[in-house]
Structure 1
Amino acid sequence: MRKWIEVAAGVMLACGSMGSAMAAPPSEQQVRQLFDAMHLSQMFGQMNAQMAGAMGRVVPCVPASYWQNFIDAGGAQQLLSRMVPIYQSHFSAEDVVGLLKFYQSPLGQKMVIQMPLVVAEGMRVNQQWGRERGLAMVQRLQQQGTLDANGRCPATPAATSPAPVAKPAH
Structure 2
Amino acid sequence: MTGKWVIGVGLCAALAAGPVLAAQPSEAQVRELMQVMNVPGQFTVMNNQMASMMSQQLPCVSADYWKTYIDKAGQEQLLTAMIPAYQHHFTSDEVEGLIKFYKSPLGQKLVAQMPATMTEAAQSGQQWGRQRTSDMFAELQKQGKLDAQGRCPGTSGAQGQ
Shorter-chain TM-score bucket reads: 0.7 to 0.9
Q: Which moved more, 1:52-61 or 1:126-135?
A: 52-61
1:5-154 mapped onto 2 (5 Å cutoff): 9=9, 11-16=12-17, 18-20=18-20, 22-154=21-153
Give the whole-Å Cα distance in 2 for the aligned partners of 1:29 and 1:15: 32
Secondary structure, aligned partner of 1:97: helix
Give the whole-Å Cα distance in 2 for the aligned partners of 1:59 and 1:125: 28
Shift of 1:57: 1.1
Shift of 1:11: 4.0
Deviations 1:25-82 (A, max 9, x none): 1011100010111111121111111110111112222221110100000000111001
Give the whole-Å Cα distance in 2 for the aligned partners of 1:111 and 1:126: 20
Deviations 1:124-167 (A, max 9, x none): 000010000001100110011000111000017xxxxxxxxxxx
State the AA in 2 paired with 1:14: L
Number of matched residues? Answer: 149
Cα RMSD of the aligned pairs, angstroms, is: 1.8
Shift of 1:13: 2.4
Shift of 1:112: 0.5
Secondary structure, aligned partner of 1:26: coil
Shift of 1:19: 4.4
Residue 158 of structure 2 is matched in structure 1 by none
State the AA in 1 paired with 2:41: Q
5+ residue gaps, structure 1: 157-170
Report which of the two structures shows the higher radius of gyration computed on alpha carbons. 1
TM-score normalised to the size of structure 2? 0.86
Stretches (4+) displaced over 2 A: 8-11
